[in-house]
Every structure is written in structure tokens, then in C-alpha cells.
């Protein structure tokens, strides 16, 4: 089996696509480069005005859609969100539930859900890491597939969703949704290896496959631990993430990457003591992060989101 891992590592794909961007996201850009937000084509023409806002049409034969000059505005289509987004962000950082946020902001629970995922998607996009390097620890988390909020669910078998959490000594955290039902050679080849820098020294914990893979990865890439005094980062991270997720009383699997990014945000901003302990000890220091949102995602895109495995 060890030799098979070495063959996998040698033949693994090197290119990495942003697997977190499974649906269209229009990123804010003050210097509008006049590209089609749907197909990214430069072939656009002016197409009149609507309520004083310039509209454009894509001249790409495969697209042909129209859009406005306001398409890159993360606050478009929602005046209330534009006026209240900073306050709502502060409620999120305090850990309030959707219902509590809705009550304080005088909005519906559906709107509260939409606003939450606009922020979570923005966190995910802004903190996206293509590859993680240096000294990297890998731990595995397994959760059952969840269809929360899906009215089309009629009792299908729920698969196991495997998440590999990678942490390094620079405080980078990379959650990788790595497999469905099974975590084997092909899942490692397609989902894990492309996210690891070839110059990384990798250590696997809590799973025999991760331990064996890490040993093979370091040998193939001729990596040795430069600093023997490097201390373990947090081998209990995956266990604590699963415990943290339980407070939501179920998270739909298609939004799992959003919540994993939320957890990374809290972890990196010292909202808890990072010790090798099962328990999450919340500190008395509030997260003091300036509210920020740079991306636009529509309600239809959020509803249509699918899990990446």
C-alpha cells in the first residue's frame, strides 16, 4: 500500500482550481474592467440605461446576456442590506442564531439566512488558499450528509462526508472536503494532493491512511523536518470543529464549506484557546474585526449551491 501512495503522489495532478467557487460570484472592483459578469468576455457593448444606470450587453455568441454597470456592487439589489450589513456582521461574530439576528434586525428568518451566507461566502472567497505549505498537520473529520432545508429530500441514504483539515505553523488553515462515503486512493489523488505544496512537510494524525500518505509524500518530495523543535499545531482541530458544528443543530452539506470557513475565521482570530484539548474554551476577548464584504452572490445562486464531492 505504501508503494501505491508513492505512485499516486508522482502522478497526481498539479493544477488547482478554486473548488470553493462552484457558483457564480461577482467580485467587487472599483476599477470596473467592463467584462461580462457571466462569461468573463471582453466583448461587450453599451445597451441603454435603466433608472440612470448604464446597461451593457455581452456580444459573446454563447452568452448574449445583459447586465448593468452596477453588477460589481456587492450591495446591489438590497438597500436594507447596504444600510445594515455592518451591524449584522457584528451579530454574526457574537454567535447569535438566525432567529436572534432576524429579531434584532427586524428582518425575516429567510433574509437572515441569506445575509449570513453572503458573509460566509465572502469569508470563504477572501481567505481561499490554493495550496498549503511549510509544516502541515492533517486531521480527518467525518460527518453524515445533511439535507436540512431541502424539501425534495424523501429519505435517501445519507453518505459520509469526509473533510481533511490542514493546519500549518503560519496559522493557515485549509479545510478540504475530500470525499463521499469513502476516503481512499482516488480521493487522495484528486482532492488532497493538489492542495498540498510540494515543498511542505506533512504529518498525518488520527487516521492510518493519512499517516501512511504523509510518510510517502515526504519521501517522494525529499522533505525533511528542518526544525525539530516545531511543536504540534492542534491535532484535535477536526474533533473541535465537529463539536462546534453541533451548536447549529444540523448544517446542510451543500453549505458545509461556508461553515468550515466561518470556523477558520474564528480560529485565526483567537476566539478560543488553541490547545490539544477536546473542549473549546471561549476567551473573554471579543473578535475585533472590521466588517468587510467584497463579493456579490444572489439568493438564487446560494439556493442552487451544491457540495463539491
Q: How far is CA 26 from CA 72, 109, 127, 150, 203, in A?
A: 6, 25, 16, 26, 37
More confident residue, 103 or 274: 103
pLDDT reading at 77 higher than 80: no
Residue 240 confidence (pLDDT): 92
pLDDT at res. 34: 73
Cβ partners under 8 Å of residue 58, min gap 6: 36, 38, 39, 41, 43, 44, 64, 65, 66, 67
What per-residue confidence (pLDDT) applies to 191? 93
Instruction: Tell me the pLDDT band of 17, cut-offs 50, 70 and 90.
Output: low
The mean pLDDT of 5-20, rounded to a whole number, is 62
Cα 92 to its chain centre, rounded Å, is 17
Helix (H) or strand (E) holding 47: strand 44-50
Rounded Cα distance between 24 and 125, Å, is 12
Which residues, at least 6 apart from 174, have a Cβ–Cβ distance to it below 8 Å? 129, 132, 165, 166, 167, 195
pLDDT band at 201 (very low <50, low <70, confident <90, very high): very high
- Tell me what percent of the residues of the chain surpass a pLDDT of 70: 77
pLDDT level of residue 214 (50, 70, 90 thresholds): very high
> What's the rounded mean pLDDT across residues 166-172?
90
- At 257 the pLDDT is 95
Res 102: pLDDT: 94
More confident residue, 267 or 37: 267
pLDDT the model gives residue 253: 94
Compute how many other C-beta atoms are within 10 angstroms of the C-beta atom of residue 276.
12
Burial class (CB in 10 A: 0-12, 13-18, 19+), 137: buried
* pLDDT value of position 22: 38
Q: What is the per-residue pLDDT for 288?
A: 45
Q: Report pLDDT for 272.
A: 52
Is the pLDDT at 275 greater than 90? The verdict is no
Residue (of 105, 166, 95) closest to 135 by Cα position: 166
239-274: pLDDT as tens digits: 999 999 999 989 999 999 999 999 999 888 864 545
Report which of 75, 38, 79 is spatially closest to residue 60, judged by C-alpha positions.
38
Confidence band of 27 (pLDDT split at 50, 70, 90): very low
- Please tell me the number of Cα atoms within 13 Å of 206 on its side-chain side: 17
What does the pLDDT read at residue 24? 41
* pLDDT at residue 126 tops 50: yes
Q: Which cell goes with 205?
A: 494524525
Mean pLDDT of 76-102: 86
- Residue 25's pLDDT band (boundaries 50, 70, 90)? very low
Average pLDDT, the chain: 82
Give residue-wise pLDDT tens across range 173-185. 999 999 999 998 8
> What per-residue confidence (pLDDT) applies to 287?
45
pLDDT of residue 228: 63
Scan for cell 432567529, then name that residue: 99
Amino acid at each position: 500500500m505504501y508503494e501505491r501512495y508513492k505512485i499516486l503522489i508522482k502522478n497526481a495532478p498539479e493544477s488547482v482550481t478554486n473548488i470553493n467557487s462552484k457558483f457564480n460570484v461577482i467580485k467587487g472592483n472599483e476599477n470596473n474592467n467592463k467584462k461580462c459578469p457571466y462569461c468573463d468576455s471582453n466583448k461587450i457593448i453599451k445597451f441603454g440605461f435603466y433608472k440612470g444606470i448604464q446597461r451593457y450587453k455581452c456580444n459573446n455568441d454563447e452568452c448574449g446576456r445583459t447586465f448593468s454597470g452596477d453588477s460589481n456592487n456587492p450591495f446591489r439589489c438590497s438597500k436594507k442590506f447596504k444600510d445594515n450589513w455592518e451591524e449584522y456582521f457584528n451579530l454574526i461574530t457574537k454567535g447569535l442564531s438566525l432567529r436572534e439576528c432576524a429579531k434584532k434586525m427586524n428582518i425575516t428568518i429567510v433574509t437572515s439566512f441569506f445575509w449570513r451566507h453572503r458573509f460566509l461566502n465572502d469569508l470563504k472567497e477572501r481567505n481561499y488558499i490554493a495550496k498549503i505549505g511549510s509544516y502541515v498537520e492533517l486531521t480527518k473529520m467525518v460527518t453524515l450528509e445533511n439535507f436540512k432545508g431541502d424539501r425534495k429530500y424523501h429519505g435517501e441514504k445519507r453518505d459520509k462526508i469526509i473533510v481533511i483539515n490542514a493546519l500549518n505553523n503560519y496559522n493557515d488553515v485549509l479545510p478540504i472536503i475530500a470525499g463521499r462515503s469513502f476516503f481512499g486512493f482516488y480521493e487522495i489523488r484528486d482532492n488532497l494532493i493538489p492542495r498540498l505544496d510540494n515543498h511542505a512537510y506533512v504529518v498525518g494524525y488520527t487516521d492510518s491512511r493519512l499517516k501512511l500518505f504523509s510518510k510517502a509524500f515526504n519521501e517522494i518530495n525529499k522533505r525533511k523536518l528542518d526544525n525539530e523543535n516545531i511543536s504540534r499545531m492542534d491535532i484535535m482541530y477536526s474533533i473541535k470543529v465537529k463539536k462546534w458544528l453541533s451548536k447549529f443543530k444540523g448544517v446542510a452539506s451543500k453549505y458545509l464549506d461556508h461553515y468550515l470557513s466561518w470556523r477558520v475565521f474564528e480560529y485565526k482570530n483567537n476566539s478560543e484557546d488553541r490547545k490539544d484539548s477536546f473542549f473549546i474554551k471561549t476567551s473573554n476577548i471579543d473578535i475585533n474585526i472590521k466588517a468587510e464584504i467584497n463579493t456579490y452572490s444572489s439568493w438564487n445562486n446560494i439556493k442552487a449551491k451544491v457540495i463539491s464531492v
